[in-house]
Structure 1
Amino acid sequence: MKAHHTFSQALSEAARESGLTDQEIAQQVDICPGYFSRFMRHVGNQWAARIALFMAVTGSDEPLRWIERETARLRAERSSKP
């Protein structure tokens, strides 16, 4: 797994590796394509930095654990759909 300097770079690589277009991803995550573009370039990076700082300040990894649990739940939900 490649280390990224920014969360935006990690998002871009994940999108590229998914084989989906940005428009397909935006549609599936229920975000308008214009906002999705901003999210990929700036907004997502800002929120990720805030969450990382929050975790550093509080000494808690609970936000990361929540993301892991929610991701597992969503993957299971999607895989059970016909």
Structure 2
Amino acid sequence: MEAGHRHVNTVKAFVDDKPERGFWHVETSSLHDFPIQMRMFDINLNSDYSISIDAINVSPAVKEGTPAYKGFKYAVAAQQLQKWI
């Protein structure tokens, strides 16, 4: 597995005979599509055995003129260009 390197969104369950040893592997393309954005997941097993997944996206404020601001501008431009391709 190359999480964060394939630039695709995938979710795979790794099941084990002991449920507490199983886990989910979640890959998102966030870093490729928007390199300054961060993403966090909160995955819960509910009392009725359904699963809730909350995704939290964070776009930090960046100061104009900094390298982070320049990267942010490039990310926005790349995202806008993809709409035309």
Answer yes or no: same fold by TM over 0.5: no
Higher helix share: 1
Higher strand share: 2
Q: Could you state the TM-score of these two structures normalised by the residue count of structure 2?
A: 0.31
Larger Rg: 2
Q: Could you state the TM-score of these two structures normalised by the residue count of structure 1?
A: 0.32
Higher relative contact order (CA 8 A, sep 6+): 1
